[in-house]
């Protein structure tokens, strides 16, 4: 086993444990902090895969912006504590469905790749400039669409969260 | 050497955790966090396949998904705050205004 593989296994373990804790914790603020841990582990996996630009984007946007938004959302709504107020009654069915999804995906992955001749992932450095030129040559139309989507989402969020004028 | 199926298994586990969270949680903010988990699992898949096939397109689409996730969280939290303001609760099973 190489150092790369050890690092991946440790990060995947941390990510899986904190993902499980995220969906089972009794305290919403702890949930947000477990989300940070999961996102950091996923960012580390991106680094191991050689996608350093995506890794920093993950840490900047997810950990820096989205989790802060979540914490503001928790702050502005009353955040209840306790299993019965956080979870609904279908916990067992949900666990069955989640396990079924994992079993189905694992079956498909196992069937799609033989372990012996599965593609190796060597640690290669991806050029961030290559992402930029690909983004602005082949995928310029989706890029414009996504910028329009972000603008519409910003305006929509402002309009939705604004206090109504008293009539 | 990391094999591609290891990354796919990691991503599948994150995705099924997200599915469980969306189905089992009552708090709307927790449901949104579980959705983020599922989007992240998809991103891991894209970057993993991109690294295995030596193709940059996986990372480009991972960037698109990050942007969509940011938009989704902004709108989602605005709706949650509006809901809390008008009904005093953000439990998703108590919101039945559109149910007949």
pLDDT in tens, B2-47: 888 889 999 999 999 999 999 998 888 999 999 999 999 999 999 9
Cα dihedral B3/B7/B12/B18 (nearest 10): 170
What pLDDT, on a 0 to 100 scale, did the predictor assign at position B68?
A: 93
For B:73-92, CB contacts with A below 8 A are 73-75, 77-82, 84, 90-91
For chain B positions 7-26, those within 8 Å of chain A (CB to CB) are 7-10, 12-21, 23-26
Say which residue the tokens 């480009």 belong to.
Answer: B60
Q: Is the pLDDT of residue A76 over 90?
A: no
- Residue A27 touches chain B, beta carbons under 8 Å: no
pLDDT, tens digit (0-9, with 9 covering 90-100), for A10-20: 999 999 999 99
ipTM of the complex in this document: 0.91
CB atoms within 10 A of CB A112: 11
- Dihedral angle computed from the Cα positions of residues B71, B75, B80 and B84, in that order, rounded to the nearest 10 degrees: 140
pLDDT tens readout for residues B59-96? 999 999 999 999 999 999 998 988 888 888 788 888 88
């Amino acid at each position: 086993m190489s150092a790369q593989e050890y690092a991946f296994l440790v990060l995947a373990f941390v990510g899986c444990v904190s993902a499980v804790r995220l969906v089972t914790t009794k305290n919403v603020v702890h949930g947000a902090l477990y989300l940070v841990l999961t996102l950091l582990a996923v960012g580390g996996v991106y680094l191991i895969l050689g996608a350093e630009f995506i890794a920093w984007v993950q840490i900047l946007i997810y950990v820096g912006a989205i989790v802060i938004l979540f914490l503001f959302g928790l702050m502005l709504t009353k955040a209840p504590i306790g299993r019965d107020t956080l979870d609904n009654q279908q916990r067992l069915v949900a666990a069955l469905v989640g396990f079924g999804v994992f079993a189905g995906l694992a079956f498909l992955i196992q069937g799609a790749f033989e372990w012996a001749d599965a593609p190796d992932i060597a640690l290669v450095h991806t050029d961030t400039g290559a992402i930029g030129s690909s983004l602005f040559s082949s995928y310029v139309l989706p890029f414009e669409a996504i910028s329009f989507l972000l603008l519409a989402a910003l305006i929509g969020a402002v309009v939705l969260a604004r206090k109504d004028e008293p009539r | 050497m990391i094999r591609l199926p290891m990354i796919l298994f990691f991503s599948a586990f994150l995705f099924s955790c997200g599915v469980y969270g969306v189905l089992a949680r009552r708090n709307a903010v927790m449901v949104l966090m579980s959705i983020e988990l599922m989007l992240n699992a998809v991103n891991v898949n894209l970057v993993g396949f991109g690294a295995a096939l030596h193709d940059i397109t996986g990372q480009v689409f991972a960037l698109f998904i990050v942007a969509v996730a940011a938009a989704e969280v902004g709108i989602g939290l605005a709706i949650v705050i509006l809901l809390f303001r008008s009904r005093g609760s953000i439990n998703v099973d108590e919101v039945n205004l559109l149910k007949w």
